[in-house]
């Protein structure tokens, strides 16, 4: 892991929550997925232990497993969720969808702050560039840090795999375009930090990903 990328794995779906920091102790929380008091304490302990100040939180997409800690993160650090407006259908149905998986979201916070393709998300003296990458879910975004040469890929691209496309708003052809025309324009040496599982690189996935 790059020194400014922290990862905690949360909930029964094994979601990677990333805490991205600059070099002055400012940070962004991506996909706060902590579920229940034990996991919430682990997130808080990581942030306090590294003396970080969260300036924002971003959701790569609004699947239930990636948003379970949204309320906790927002309330603890006085933040608002930032996402792509294309996530609307998924946040409107998140509570009922969650119940089908036995996951309960309490007091879900409706997003009011949005980003789109090409936007930059500054935090401290660092910033992320937004790529709009639907196909796994409408509203899916990837977040690129060009200075540190990494991309947070959500559930779009994994090591040796890609996002599933059988859930509502999923579409394989759209996902394929998002990966090949957006993510794969990044340099080969960029590290990919996915929403589940271990990190990889753009170059490795170009050469080895069996789904592409
Ligand atoms: Zn997902
Ligand atoms: Zn996921």
Angle subtended by helix axes 70-77 and 36-49, to nearest 10: 40
Based on the number of CB atoms within 10 Å of its own CB, is 44 exposed (0-12), middle (13-18) or buried (19 or more)? Answer: middle
Calculate how far, in angstroms, residue 183's C-alpha sits from the geometric centre of ligand 1: 17
Cα(121) to ligand 1 centroid in Å equals 21
Angle at the Cα of 83 from the Cα atoms of 39 and 153, rounded to 5 degrees = 70
Distance CA 87, CA 61 (A): 7
Residues that place a CB less than 5 A from ion ligand 2: 65, 155, 195
What pLDDT is recorded for position 41? 98
Is residue 184 packed enough to be buried (19+ CB in 10 Å), middle (13-18) or exposed (0-12)?
middle
pLDDT on residue 139:
97
d(CA 17, CA 30): 6
Pairing of the two strands 191-194 and 150-154 = parallel
Q: Coil, strand, or helix at residue 94?
A: helix
Separation of CA 194 and ligand 2 centre (Å): 9
Provide the 3-class DSSP secondary structure of residue 32: coil
Residue 103: what pLDDT?
Answer: 79
Q: Which-ligand-closest: CA of 167? A: 1
Q: Which ligand is nearest to the CA of 197?
A: 2
C-alpha 125 – ligand 1 centre gap (Å): 30
What residues have CB less than 8 Å from 37, skipping those under 6 apart?
Answer: none
Mean pLDDT of residues grouped by 10 in the chain (212 residues)?
90 96 97 96 98 98 94 96 94 83 81 96 97 97 98 98 94 98 98 98 98 93
Of 3, 1, 57, nearest to 25 (Cα)?
Answer: 3
**CA 63 to ligand 1 center in whole angstroms:** 5
Ligand nearest to the CA of 33: 2
> How close is the Cα of 154 to the center of ligand 2, in Å?
7
Whole-number pLDDT of residue 11: 94
Kindly identify the ligand whose nearest atom is closest to the C-alpha of 17: 2
What domains can you pick out in the chain, each with its CATH number? 5-208 (3.60.15.10)
**How far, in Å, is the centroid of ligand 1 from the Cα of 24?**
31
What per-residue confidence (pLDDT) applies to 3? 77
The number of the ligand nearest the C-alpha atom of 68 reads: 2
């Amino acid at each position: 892991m790059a020194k400014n990328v922290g990862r905690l794995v949360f909930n029964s779906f094994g979601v990677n929550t990333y805490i991205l920091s600059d070099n002055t102790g400012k940070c962004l929380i991506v996909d706060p997925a902590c579920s229940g008091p034990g996991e919430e304490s682990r997130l808080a302990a990581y942030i306090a232990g590294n003396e970080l100040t969260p300036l924002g939180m971003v959701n790569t997409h609004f699947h239930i497993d990636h948003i379970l800690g949204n309320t906790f993160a927002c309330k603890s650090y006085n933040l608002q969720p930032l996402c792509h407006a294309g996530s609307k259908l998924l946040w409107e149905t998140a509570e009922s969808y969650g119940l089908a998986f036995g996951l309960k979201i309490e007091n879900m916070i409706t997003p009011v702050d949005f980003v789109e393709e090409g936007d930059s998300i500054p935090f401290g003296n660092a910033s992320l560039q937004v790529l709009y990458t639907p196909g796994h879910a409408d509203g899916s975004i990837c977040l690129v840090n060009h200075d540190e040469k990494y991309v947070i890929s959500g559930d779009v691209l994994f090591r040796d795999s890609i996002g599933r496309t059988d859930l509502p708003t999923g579409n394989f052809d759209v996902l394929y375009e998002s990966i090949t025309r957006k993510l794969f324009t990044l340099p080969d040496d960029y590290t990919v930090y996915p929403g589940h599982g271990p990190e990889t690189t753009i170059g490795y996935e170009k050469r080895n990903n069996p789904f592409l």
